[in-house]
Amino acid sequence: MKLSEYEWLYDGNLDLDCNTFNQNLTEWLIEYNFNRPHQSLDYLTPMEYIEGEDFSGLEVLQKYYLCGQPEQ
């Protein structure tokens, strides 16, 4: 298990209700990828790092649900 998965799972975010689970996971992923600097990226957030790279032709940011179906 990666440190990021361990951190999220054992920080009290596991919930058996699918909607709550997905909401908690979404909020954490936003924090992790948009707000939190990463040492391995020279203290940039992943989004700041991606903005500085050329990823033309690459499809990114697809939305996945780990539990249940998205609400319509």
Q: H helices of 1-72, where? A: 3-8, 18-30, 46-51
How many other C-beta atoms lie within 10 A of the C-beta of residue 49?
Answer: 15
> How far, rounded to the nearest angstrom, does the alpha carbon of residue 15 sit from its chain's CA centroid?
17
Residues 53, 39: Cα–Cα separation, whole Å: 17
Angle (CA) 25-30-31 rounded to 5° is: 100
For the whole prediction, is pTM greater than 0.75?
A: no
Please state the length of the chain: 72
pLDDT classification of 29: cutoffs 50, 70, 90: confident
Q: What is the mean pLDDT of the chain?
A: 76
Per-residue pLDDT at 43: 92
Indicate whether 38 pLDDT > 70: yes
